[in-house]
Amino acid sequence: MQRQPEPELMDAAEQAAAYASADFSAPHQFLVDQISRLLPVLPVAARVLDLGCGPADVSLRFARAFPGWQIDGVDGAEAMLKLGRAQVAAAGLAARVRLHRALLPNDPLPGAGYQVILSNSLLHHLHRPQVLWQAVRAAAAPGVAVYVTDLRRPADEGSLRRLVDTYSGPEPAVLRRDFEASLRAAFTPQEVHAQLGLAGLQELAVRELTDRHLAVFGYLR
């Protein structure tokens, strides 16, 4: 299946509200739980950058799992960030989770020298995937732990249809439509390997996590 890029920003109010209200607890918590298996050495206290944080559900899950982490979440979609800030406030974690609007690569990141860099479901939105890998390199402290998760593109239309039917279920039509578009826009593990080689990030590994997710992880010198 050939890749079909989708819009880089999900800034429509309808999309943002649908994502914020949807129940992604099982897949999001699974991805959060995997970090300790894939990266067994993680700092107890750390400055953390979450690229493409959206409405902050994953950021908040990491904050609860690692109470010593101070997390800067970054997203280009103000509609997502507005909902995310409300979620952060409701969770009582505004002192440790701060959300910033930045559209990569044009806007500056909120800082540098991060000990942990996270990203979930940003890569497939990017028309130029090197934007993500360049941001990782620019924001990293020596020895940074990197954990990037995303969808992976199915091999054919039949596989795509099975994934959409299996995981969209009773979700609103906008989520079903966006899930299909995201699967079409996602990269294969082989394509991500090539991206890392081009970025000089060969220390990072790529692994298939589920029938629809992949992870990029490792430590950078």
Segment of 23-32, 75-84, 139-148 carrying the highest mean pLDDT: 139-148
Q: Do residues 177 and 22 lie in contact, with contact meaning Cβ atoms separated by under 8 Å? A: no
pLDDT for residue 23 is more than 80: no
Copy the structure tokens of residue 84: 């995310």
32-46, 147-161, 173-187, 203-217: range with lowest mean pLDDT: 173-187
Sorting pLDDT into bands at 50, 70 and 90, what band is 175? confident
pLDDT for residue 192 is more than 70: yes
Taking residues 85-113, report their average pLDDT: 97
* Distance, CA of 176 to CA of 102 (rounded, Å): 27
Taking residues 191-214, report their average pLDDT: 97
Q: Calculate the alpha carbon distances from 165 to 108, 152, 171, 176 in Å.
A: 39, 16, 11, 9
CB count, 10 Å around CB of 77?
Answer: 24
Do you know the residue count of the chain? 221
Q: What is the pLDDT of residue 21?
A: 60
CB count, 10 Å around CB of 94?
Answer: 12
* Distance, CA of 149 to CA of 154 (rounded, Å): 16
Taking residues 9-22, report their average pLDDT: 60
Q: What is the pLDDT of residue 97?
A: 98
pLDDT for residue 16 is more than 70: no
pLDDT for 61-94, tens place per residue? 999 999 999 999 999 999 999 999 999 999 999 9
Q: What is the pLDDT of residue 12?
A: 60
Q: What is the pLDDT of residue 176?
A: 87
pLDDT mean across residues, the chain: 93
Taking residues 158-174, report their average pLDDT: 86
Sorting pLDDT into bands at 50, 70 and 90, what band is 189? very high
- Taking only Cα atoms into account, the Rg of the chain, rounded to an integer number of angstroms, comes to 16
Helix (H) or strand (E) holding 32: helix 25-38
pLDDT for residue 105 is more than 90: yes
Q: What is the pLDDT of residue 170?
A: 67
Taking residues 6-28, report their average pLDDT: 67
Domains and CATH numbers, the chain: 13-219 (3.40.50.150)
Buried b (16+ CB within 10 A) or exposed e, 179-217: bbebbbbbbbeebbbebbeebebeebebeebeebbbbbb
Closest CA to 17 of 88, 83, 100, 73: 83
Sorting pLDDT into bands at 50, 70 and 90, what band is 199? very high
